[in-house]
Amino acid sequence: MLDFSSVKDKVVIVTGASRGIGEAIARCCAANGMKVVCAARGMEKGEQLAGEIQGNGGSAVFRQTDCGDPGAVKDLIEFAVDHFGGLDGIVNNAGIGLGGFPLHEYDLEDYDKIMDLNLKGVFAGMKYAAEAMFKSGSTGGFIINVASVAGLLPQRGQALYTAAKFAVVGMTRTAALDYAPYGVTVNAICPGYTLTSMFDGIPDEAMNFFLRDCPAERLGKPEECAYIALFLASDMARYISGAAIPVDGALSAGSKNMINWKHPEIRSAARRV
């Protein structure tokens, strides 16, 4: 039986919370009684999100943060502890995508841009959140890193993004080993093609490629990642740590191939998603 009452009143930081997967996670956590610190660079959308959560009876506050700056991440976590009196978990979701080029066409500035936010920022979030959870005396602490299917399966044209996300998965698993004796779980969520603002205005040709490439033949919804985050924050997932969980419509399960049904008539009763 599913029971999310264990997350009630837990204090969680969600980075990159002003849109997409981060917004969905913040809303889901708040709807289940968690105290949410919404962090993002965009002040207008971040404050709007926190206000909407409060208007719906939830507990949330916004903190403008550049998560590519470790000092700003440290300040964010100190703010969360000061505001709510402690910290129980963090969802390191803030990140950027940059790709579609062969490796030699990336600039060194591209490397710094990707690694500062997608890797250094996640490391800072893990480091300072872990320290805060221990100092807070939190029980049932958790760290959730939003990596990517690119952290499980390299993708052509995504050398830097893939490197960063592989590193996030590696840090996740190592930290899980470090903190397992102390009851702090550390897991990664690895989204595939997910319907966020990244897909706004893309050409039909590109959208059709993503739909063809995904075995589920659709894009994921941000809420589908949020439900996993909520579960990982709950007591139902206390024995799950060091996992990198794909939410990708079977994209990372393996390569697609030609398939012939011996009895295709059985599909007539099945509804295609």
Is the Cα torsion angle 74, 11, 32, 191 positive or negative in sign?
A: positive
235 DSSP assignment:
G
Cα angle 197, 202, 204; round to 5: 135
161 is catalytic: yes
Residue that the structure tokens 């289940």 belong to: 32
235-266 exposure pattern, b = at least 16 Cβ within 10 A, e = fewer:
ebbeeebbbbbbbbbebbeeeeeeeeeeeeee
* Residue 152 and residue 206 in contact, taking contact as beta carbons nearer than 8 Å: no
Residue 190: in which H helix or E strand, if any? Answer: strand 185-191
User: CA end-to-end span of the chain, whole Å?
Assistant: 26
Place of tokens 């505001």: 83
Determine the Cα–Cα distance for residues 183 and 9; give it in Å rounded to an integer.
18
Distance in angstroms (rounded) separating the CA atoms of residues 55 and 244: 34
Compute the radius of gyration of the chain from its Cα atoms. 19
- Active-site pick, 161, 182, 193, 227: 161
> Which residues are marked as active site?
161
